[in-house]
Amino acid sequence: MATLIHNVTLVNVRSSNQLLRGKDLAVLPCLEKAYLIIEGNVVADYGKMKYLKHDPKSFAFHFDAEGRFILPSWCDSHTHLVFAGSRENEFVDSIKGLSYADIAAKGGGILASAKKLNDTSEDDLFAQSYTRLRELMQLGTGAIEIKSGYGLTLEGELKILRVIQRLKATVSIPVKSTFLGAHAIPAEFKDNREGYIKLIIEKMLPAIVKENLADYIDVFCEEGFYSPEETERICIAGKQYGLKAKIHANQLSLSGGVQSGVRVGAISVDHLETMDEKTITTLAQSDTIGTLLPTAAFFLRMPLQPARSLIEAGCAIALASDYNPGSSPSGNMNFVVALSCIQMSMSPEEAINAATINGAHAMEMQNEVGSLAIGKKANLILTRHIPSLAYLPYSFGTNLIEKVMVNGEWLQ
């Protein structure tokens, strides 16, 4: 049963799925006064209105979308959406002046979320996570990556990854899953880091791979968390089980995480709040994507990522939400795009490309999602009546999405 949307502006129409870097990131191909035909779960045809051969009435569903835009859904390549409860108590402490380190010392931070998660049943965790994911789908997210990392025990990590597996089977958007056992050092291993790293490599990894629960491996490479050497060791172990790396790098310090990521051939190095020229050059000369998480920097009141320097140096950058209870308790990609324009001086075209086609690359799904092309999944955002594309990030905070299509069907 075919669907026709006509008199619409199509955004990010491209036949090549190439990763965008440098000046190419600013080129966002659009087709005005156009039509789009969806058949089954894919885009079947599109073109200028003057070339529309069929009578709109011959379609099972047809919609005159004058003054509106159709975008490919957001591709959010970095989230920690499976977590238990929330941490707004720490948020209030931070308003009163406590630092991330002070909060962690008081028993907060990642370890607080890990305690809650280990005390929550798998069914309850699934119910909480499903509610979050459905909300993001309504906000236009049409492909997502979700990490473990709030278990920090064999059972806890398996619980999260099984919940991600259930989400994959339940929702109609593509979901990628990442094992982040190396998110923090659990309290019981405080004086025995080596013991925990061995647990990750020798016990967790084989158990996870046996159940086919992960697509990628991740490490939080940061002072006080995992060193570059430990990061590489864990990523190489993951690689031996067929898991490519996507790592947390250069969030709070010049941790060496970017260099480690490039050395192990990571798909992406994510965060990048703290960069210097040498690190930017290393990233620019590699095939690794730099994924910027501006809402995390915003929420932690840190300077945002140096997007302009990264783009000008020729790095391939993506945008993602980092949805998690500690540093980005929002997974709203519309706000990520707006913040990137407002505070990182990215143009609307650059931000939309980084949050769609380049985000798809950061999950190796560029042939399925991330742009409007014949044969690609019909995961789309239909905007309300808006004066221009720049109006989307300009009027940040207003929901300008009229409807979302997932797999060829309007989301209810």
Please give the residue whose beta carbon sits closest to Fe ion in the complex.
322
Report the distance separating Cα 115 and Cα 103, nearest Å: 15
Residues 304-343, one symbol each (x = binds Fe ion by CB under 5 A, - = not), give ------------------x---------------------
Burial tier of 60 (Cβ tally within 10 Å: 0-12, 13-18, 19+): exposed
CB of 340 to ligand NIG, least distance (A): 17
Q: Residue 251 or 358: which CB sits closer to ligand NIG?
A: 251
Report the distance separating Cα 405 and Cα 37, nearest Å: 13
269 has which bridge partners?
247, 290
Single residue of 73, 327, 366, 379 touching ligand NIG by CB under 6 A? 327
Q: How many CA atoms are closer than 13 Å to the CA of 124, on its beta-carbon side?
A: 9
Burial tier of 210 (Cβ tally within 10 Å: 0-12, 13-18, 19+): exposed
Look at residues 356, 360, 375 and name the one whose alpha carbon lies nearest to residue 37: 375
* Structure-token match 């720490």, residue found: 90
Q: Tokens for 138?
A: 């309504």
Single residue of 9, 73, 94, 113 touching ligand NIG by CB under 6 A? 113
Q: Does 294 bind ligand NIG (CB under 6 A)?
A: no
292 has which bridge partners?
271, 319
Please give the residue whose beta carbon sits closest to ligand NIG in the complex.
326
Q: Residue 151 or 326: which CB sits closer to ligand NIG?
A: 326
Helix (H) or strand (E) holding 383: strand 380-383
CB of 185 to ligand NIG, least distance (A): 13
Residues 236-275, one symbol each (x = binds ligand NIG by CB under 6 A, - = not), give ------------x--x------------------------
Do you know the residue count of the chain? 412
Q: Does 104 bind ligand NIG (CB under 6 A)?
A: no
Residue 251 interaction partner, one of ligand NIG, Fe ion, none, beta carbon < 5-8 Å per kind: ligand NIG
Q: Does 382 bind ligand NIG (CB under 6 A)?
A: no
CB of 5 to ligand NIG, least distance (A): 37
Q: Does 349 bind ligand NIG (CB under 6 A)?
A: no
Residues 6+ apart with CB under 8 A from 174: 143, 144, 363, 365, 368, 369, 377
Q: Residue 6 or 271: which CB sits closer to ligand NIG?
A: 271
User: Site residues (CB under 6 A) for ligand NIG?
Assistant: 109-110, 113, 220, 248, 251, 296, 322, 324-327
User: Site residues (CB under 5 A) for Fe ion?
Assistant: 322
